[in-house]
Amino acid sequence: MDIQRANEIYNSKQIISVKLDGDPVWIEKVDMDNGMATVQLGSNPLNTKTVSVNQLVEEK
């Protein structure tokens, strides 16, 4: 995924399925300058990870 699409998903009012390594995640923050995104893994809001947006896959 590119940084622009990650930001669009983050700002969308719709629920858009995104996966990291095959597991569903929620985008919590997008760092446009560095091409990174902080994502929530699973249902625990404290379980977050910052990854390159290139690692994220939008489910169509």
Task: Please report the pLDDT score of residue 50 as a whole number.
Answer: 98
Topology annotation, domain 3-58: SH3 type barrels. (2.30.30)
pLDDT digits (tens, 9 = 90+) for 8-57: 999 999 999 999 999 999 999 999 999 999 999 988 989 999 999 999 99
Report d(CA 42, CA 44) in Å as an integer.
6
Q: Mind giving me the DSSP string for the chain?
A: --HHHHHHHHH-SS---EEETTEEEEEEEEETTTTEEEEEETT-TT-EEEEEGGGEEE--
Predicted confidence (pLDDT) at residue 6 exceeds the cutoff of 90: yes
User: What b-and-e string marks burial along 3-17, b requiring 16 or more CB atoms within 10 Å of the CB?
Assistant: beebbebbeeeeeee
> Is the pLDDT reported for residue 2 higher than 90?
yes
pLDDT at 60 over 90: no
